[in-house]
Amino acid sequence: MNLTNLFETQKLLDEEIEKKHPVQPGENRLRKKILATLTEVAECANEFPEVFKFWSNKKNNTQKGLVELVDILHFLLSIGNEHRKVIVPAQDIKKSSDTEDCMIDLCFQISCIEFVEEAYSLAFYRYSELTQRLGFSWEEIEQSYMEKNKINYQRQEAGY
């Protein structure tokens, strides 16, 4: 896992986005990024219905789920870059008991980022844990992130 490279790659994309979509006076980009991240977690959850939809027989869609996991990562990296959050060592964080708990705790930690210093670290850890629980290696996540990053640049060029 090359976090330094990922943070730098995201920083460059964020700078490109900000050129085309400058921060407006009084705008709270952190809150918007938090909401966007939570939205991506919900979209991800919908691609893994076996995790929580006890009322449904719908099967997981791992390919679409991977795309949503990468979208979550884009926003987590962006938040970390903008607010210079640090990541605590994984051994200092207790693992969640199952995939559903991990996903719920990820949402909780994301929603606390603005107010609780440790929340970013915990959210990033839960994200990493969730990707593993869903069967993805960090190499798959990183490769998919780079592919989606190219798409995000193309979208900016196309006036997205």
Query: What average pLDDT score do residues 30-35 get?
Result: 94
Query: What average pLDDT score do residues 103-111 get?
Result: 92
CA 40, CA 76: separation in Å to the nearest integer? 11
Q: Is 156 left (phi over 0), alpha (psi -120 to 50) or beta?
A: alpha
The secondary structure of 96-111, three-state, reads: CCCHHHHHHHHHHHHH
Q: What pLDDT is attached to residue 157?
A: 87
Kindly list the structural domains of the chain, giving each domain's residue range(s) and its CATH number in brackets, ordered by start. Answer: 3-20+33-157 (1.10.4010.10)
- Please give the structure tokens belonging to residue 129: 């844990």
- Return the DSSP state at 56: -
The predicted model scores a pTM of 0.90
Q: What pLDDT is attached to residue 8?
A: 94
Q: What pLDDT is attached to residue 134?
A: 95
- Within 10 angstroms of residue 56's Cβ, the number of other Cβ atoms is 9
- pLDDT digit string (tens) for 51-95? 999 999 999 999 999 999 999 999 999 999 987 666 655 555 677
CA 4, CA 67: separation in Å to the nearest integer? 21
- Within 10 angstroms of residue 80's Cβ, the number of other Cβ atoms is 22
Residues across the chain: 160
Q: What pLDDT is attached to residue 24?
A: 95
Mean pLDDT score of the chain: 90
